[in-house]
C-alpha cells in the first residue's frame, strides 16, 4: 500500500511540476508527457511490454484523478479535501 501511495504521489508531483512550468499546458497534455516518460523509463530498463503499458496506465489514471480534482476546484472555487486524499 505504501509503495502505491508513493508511486501515485511521484506521478502526481511530476504532472504538477509540468503544469507549474507552463501556463499553456493542460492537465491532459502534462499527463500524456509524464505517462510517456514513465513508459520510456521502463523500456530502457528492459521491462516487459506489459510492464511498460502498466506504468503508462498508472500515470494516466493518476492524471485523470488530478484532472477531476482540478475540475472540482474550478467549479467550487475550493478543493474538496476528500477527493485529494
17-61: per-residue pLDDT in tens?
Answer: 999 998 888 999 999 999 999 999 999 999 999 999 999 999 999
Distance from chain centroid for Cα 81: 18
Torsion angles phi and psi, residue 48, rounded to 5: -65, 155
pTM, two decimal places: 0.78
Number of domains in the chain: 1
Residue 84: is its pLDDT beyond 50?
A: no
Residue 2: is its pLDDT beyond 80?
A: no
Q: Which helix (H) or strand (E) holds 65?
A: helix 49-76
Domain residues for 68? 2-84
Amino acid at each position: 500500500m505504501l509503495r502505491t501511495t508513493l508511486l501515485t504521489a511521484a506521478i502526481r508531483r511530476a504532472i504538477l511540476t509540468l503544469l507549474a512550468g507552463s501556463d499553456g499546458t493542460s492537465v491532459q497534455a502534462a499527463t500524456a508527457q509524464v505517462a510517456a516518460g514513465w513508459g520510456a523509463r521502463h523500456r530502457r530498463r528492459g521491462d516487459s511490454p506489459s510492464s511498460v503499458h502498466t506504468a503508462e496506465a498508472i500515470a494516466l489514471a493518476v492524471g485523470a484523478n488530478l484532472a477531476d480534482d482540478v475540475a472540482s476546484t474550478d467549479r467550487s472555487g475550493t478543493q474538496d479535501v476528500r477527493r485529494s486524499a
